Amino acid sequence: MRHCNEQGRRIFLANVGVNAAHRLVSPLRDDGSFTLVTIPEGHDGPRVVRYGDVDAFRSIVPERYWAMPTHYDPEFETNTYGDNCAWAPRAAALKACREGDVIAFIARLVGCGGPVFALVGLLAIEAVLRDVTAEPDAATMTRFGANAHVRRAKWDGFWVFAGGHGSRLFPRAVVIGREEAELLFRDRTGAAWSWPAHRTELQTIGSYTRSCRCVIDPSVDASRAEHFWALLRERVGCGPWP
């Protein structure tokens, strides 16, 4: 495993949870707490999680959805996140994510003031399971078996990332608006985001975060890494790690 301090970690961003295309929402409460509701699962099976299986969902998701499978990913019981890095263009950039890096999760939350995007948690990567095309051995299942991609047993070349010390679901949402986005993020060319007048702030953030990718590389711009961790320390007390 590559050891590094927090500022030395590359930060990848993944958009997770239900969005405007789904009937369910991830609620944001007035005190900043939230429930990250995962998307419906397109495959069924004996190990697939259903909405009614998750205690946090039972007071949020209407009972008529409880029997429906959900793609419970990321999960923060054993700290894993999976994606179809081998064949899905939106996830291809995660193939560069390695031990010592961070995957930060951004989600669409809905509060009394309407929808927002917010950072909701992160994984500090300690292991990566790559190109899974067959059921893993028992030892691998012990570490990665709780992930939704493993649970549905469709061995289609997915990847799973396992988080170690520092991985967590945040206790409060770190709302990302234009001010935070301009401070922290750049597009794939390294340029600042553009904010066209014909699009809302929410639409612009959603567009730029649709695909997973490395958004902060401290070797290129250390100041943005410092701002990222300072924001998390201020808002949710996250970091530093040894």
pLDDT at 58: 97
pLDDT at 2: 40
pLDDT at 238: 84
Q: What is the four-CA torsion angle of 152, 134, 158, 9, rounded to 10 degrees?
A: 110
pLDDT tens for the chain, 242 residues long, are 343 455 579 999 999 999 999 999 999 999 999 999 999 999 899 999 999 999 999 999 999 999 999 999 999 999 999 999 999 999 999 999 999 999 999 999 999 999 999 999 999 999 999 999 999 999 999 999 999 999 999 999 999 999 999 999 999 999 999 999 999 999 988 899 999 999 999 999 999 999 999 999 999 999 999 999 999 999 999 866 65
